[in-house]
Structure 1
Amino acid sequence: MKLADIAVPETPAARAALEAATAYCSPALLNHSVRSYLWAAAYADARGIAFDAELLYVSAMFHDIGLVAEFDSHTVPFEEAGGHVAWVFCAGAGWPVERRVRASEVIVRHMWDKVDVAEDPEGHLLELSTGLDISGRNPQDWPADLRAEVLEHYPRAGIAEEFAACIKDQEERKPESLAGGFVRGGVAGRIAANALDR
């Protein structure tokens, strides 16, 4: 599989989601969001997992928007804040309520330990792809040539250091969040050891 084989949705909502993410995310966080979609779509294609590409793409663009200063909430975990941003964005895109809720669910669930593919294929795929991109989980599930090509086109640009600092900040301010549990569980070490940065 090559990067060109991964279908990226060309819908108005997908284009607007990328535009919004580009406006608010750092270069490292933006590339992480794009890679998260690409890893997810490639994984699904290789395993015959049917998924809604537009829903997954929009969710990937917003899954970490709650870490950005403009959308960082002092009351809810960053993934929930991101889900709220996505809900509002999707309302503006004309999505029905059920589809807005799905985008929010996919974003919240990307922080879960595991998401059932039968119940939520997009949430399952985003949880797996972000696990690869941030903490280097199961890189063997993606071909080495594809990993190299994606990283060449969408460099990591210091995402390990930036994300580790963001997640530590979340833990300090929201210790009961999933991010807080990740920090206490040693996520900083896994981020630092990510093979994608080698």
Structure 2
Amino acid sequence: MPSTFDVRRLVEPPTATAGHALEVAREWCGPALVNHCLRSWVWAQALGESLGLSVDDELLFVAAMLHDLGVTEPFDAHLMPFESSGGAAAWTFAAGAGWPASRRERVMQVIERHMWVSVDVDEDPEGFLLEAATSLDVAHADPEKWDVALRREVAAALPRLDFGPEFAAAIEAQASRKPSSTAARLSASGRIARGDAAWAAERSSRS
């Protein structure tokens, strides 16, 4: 069956600065986490288009690439929640890219909010999209919001590899050191394992 979606085009960074954010992700994240970041961008972009949202594509791409830096060893803060340490790293990246202070704050805010239970789309469309996208990719939440062919082709082009077990272990490590964090809530919920099983079942149903 011919491809409906050009996934290689979908994952292209929208700007040179966005491309540098992808370089950062590839430098400090393992392959499974990089693919998660890229899938999250595609899911966010697709949902935004389907809802007719006007978003800052560069900011959203940078946030998608850097949102999980806080679970990687070089950026894992001892006390700070991982989404806050990742947000701080993204703020620093944005400062180096020459973004104004307000936009640095925005990318940090979007990353911090991706761990919220929900984000108001009118208040923060980029935060709303990243939260929804990462929830789909981690927990297989609300898959009906995305075209099934898109899900199939993105999952094939950007395979999950060992993302489920690796991410579960990273979140459990965060939870054990930071018991009041959002990571602890996620770890206790079982959503990572259930999501990984749901993605595996979806993949098996297509084979």
Whole-angstrom CA distance in 1 between matches of 2:195 and 2:127: 21
Q: In the alignment, is the contact (CA less than 8 A) between 1:60 and 1:126 conserved in 2?
A: yes
Deviation, 1:2, is 2.2
- 1:191: how far off? 3.3
User: Paired residue for 1:2?
Assistant: 5
1:158 deviates by 1.0
Runs of 4+ in structure 1 deviating by more than 6 angstroms, as ranges, are none
Closer, same or farther: CA 111–159 of 1 in aligned 2, 3 Å: same
Counting aligned pairs with the same residue, the percent is 46
Q: Does 1:99 align with 2:103?
A: yes
Residue 51 of structure 2: aligned partner: 47
- 1:67 aligns to 2:71 (yes or no): yes
On the 8 A contact 2:138/2:192 being kept in 1, the answer is: no
Alignment match, 1:125: 129
The one-letter code sitting in structure 2 at the alignment partner of 1:135 is A
Q: Is the 8 A contact 1:133 1:196 kept in 2?
A: no
Question: Structure 2 CA distance, aligned partners of 1:186 and 1:179?
Answer: 11
Which residue does 2:113 correspond to in 1? 109
What is the CA–CA distance in structure 2 between the aligned matches of 1:139 and 1:122, rounded to whole Å? 19
Pair 1:195–1:87, CA change in 2 (3 A) = same
Q: 2:138 touches 2:191 (CA, 8 Å); kept in 1? A: no
- Which residue is equivalent to 1:157? 161
SS, match of residue 194 in structure 1 = helix
C-alpha separation in 2, matches of 1:176 and 1:93 = 33
Q: Is the 8 A contact 2:70 2:77 kept in 1?
A: yes
* Match of residue 179, structure 1, among 183, 195, 198: 183
User: C-alpha distance in 2, partners of 1:6/1:162?
Assistant: 25
**Structure 1, unaligned runs of 5 or more:** none
- 1:79 counterpart residue number: 83
TM-score by length of 1: 0.94
Residue 56 (structure 1) aligns with = 60
The question of whether the paired residues in 1 share the 8 Å contact of 2:141 and 2:195 is answered with no
Structure 2 runs not aligned, ≥5 long: none
CA shift at 1:7, angstroms?
7.5
Contact 1:8–1:53 at 8 Å: present in 2 too? no
TM-score by length of 2: 0.90
What is the root-mean-square deviation of aligned Cα atoms in Å? 1.6
Q: Distance in 1 between matches of 2:198 and 2:171?
A: 16
- Deviations along 1:126-152, whole A, 9 cap, x unmatched? 000000000110111111111111111
Matched residue count:
198
Counterpart of 2:138 in structure 1 is: 134
- CA-to-aligned-CA distance 1:88-139 (integer Å, 9 cap, x gap): 0000000000000000000000000000000000000000000000011011
Describe the shift of the 1:188–1:34 C-alpha distance in structure 2 as closer, same or farther (beyond 3 A): closer
